[in-house]
Amino acid sequence: MSTQNTATTVKVNQKQALQLVTDLMRIPGKSGEEGKIAAEIVERLQKAGLPRKLISFDTANKKSPIGGESGNLIVKLPGTQKGPRRALMAHMDTVPLCVGAEPVKRGNLIHSKSSQTALGADDRSGCSVILNALLTILTENLSHPPLTFCWMVQEEIGLVGVRHLATSKLGKPKMCFNWDGKLVDQVCIGATGDSGMLIRIEGVASHAGAHPERGVSAAVIAGKAIEDLSENGWHGLVIKGRNTGSSNIGVLSGGAATNVVMPELIIKAEARSHNPRFRQKILDEFKKAFQRSVKSVKNSDGQRGTVSFESHLKYESFRLSEKEPAVQTAKLAIQKIGGLPELSIGNGGLDANWMVAHGFPTVTLGCGQQDIHTTEETLIIDEYLKACEIGLLLATATETD
């Protein structure tokens, strides 16, 4: 009969943890192309003795608009000690700028060797934190509560993987911990919501030289609507009384030639706010602005264009109570390693948004990422190693020992 150890008697092997994240950052895996990184994680787990039957993939990729090589990777472990099930998670995909990264260590930082690529610490550092915790449990025979590990796909293109997560595979975790951020002392307990907009403007084509007066320019309709939104404070940072949010027109596409009055324009935009009602108000103001604009532009024959407006929820906002067990447990783990936990609210989307929407209270923790999505991206080594310590404490429920 084997005797199980506790995490208080086993420390994180810093050399191995650092090598692990370096190895994972080398593997290409932009959104939809997570096959190689998923295979690497599975191979390492099986080499450490994890039975293949405990490893599964869902079919989130089959529900994604881009398809994809892999669904979410899920490992579900029975506990060796009693306690509520805990989930540890991170996302496997990177932005395209990370493809080809060669990590190099310089002092307390890891950089990409090439100035043309990002590093991929977002979120291979998170993947490594939870993989290191599970590998340590397996190799050191550590006691642990029921655990679920999730490596998500397609986070970077709108939280697609977690949105379509097969929640029935998780085992009903009561606390979820997501690693995707910078400083380990930061405990993100809430995040904004985001709605996308698709606006189609139909004008009237005409020859721009011979008969420009017969045309109705979709570009002019768009321009007047955008000016309206900007002048009235509904584009960019939006502050109306106590309500705050933001909006952005990010994509405009239309027209085929300079000698044709633009007959069609497609606009993609977004609205964000922590307040769902105020976010809807921003959407309503966008729609009204384009409706006003289309009525104000006509050609010499009195013709006007048309506009259609669609909106869809990308992810809903959330805010956990400070008394939520996941929040309190994360704070205890940070304090255990000598940190001073600080609660924060994010203005970007996280996999936690959809986890909370699915019914699983989720906090997001830092793991050393810095200057993400840029060629200046680095991994802060000491923050990453602290995150590994926190991950092991949370995975073994020893944050109070």
Residue list, annotated binding site for Zn(2+): 122, 156, 180
Q: Is 200 exposed, middle or buried (0-12, 13-18, 19+ CB in 10 A)?
A: middle
How far is Cα 378 from Cα 119, in angstroms, rounded to an integer? 6
Q: Helices 121-140 & 35-47, crossing angle to 10 degrees? A: 20
Annotated binding site: 122, 156, 180
How far is Cα 304 from Cα 366, in angstroms, rounded to an integer? 53
Q: Which of 26, 28, 223, 9 is nearest to 137 (CA)?
A: 9
C-beta pairs of 230-237 under 8 Å, 24+ apart in sequence: 232/285, 232/289, 234/282, 234/285, 234/286, 234/289
How far is Cα 397 from Cα 381, in angstroms, rounded to an integer? 24
Q: Exactly one of 34, 40, 155, 377 is catalytic; name it.
A: 155
Q: Which residues of 298-323 are buried (b: 16+ CB within 10 A; e: fewer)?
A: ebeeeebbebebebeebbbbbebeee
Residue 102 annotated as catalytic = no
Q: What angle do CA 106, 367, 61 make, to 5 degrees?
A: 115
How far is Cα 337 from Cα 303, in angstroms, rounded to an integer? 70
Q: Which of 236, 180, 186 is nearest to 353 (CA)?
A: 180
Q: Under a CB-based contact definition with an 8 Å cutoff, are residues 204 and 214 in contact?
A: yes
Which amino acid, 332? Answer: L
Known catalytic residues are: 155
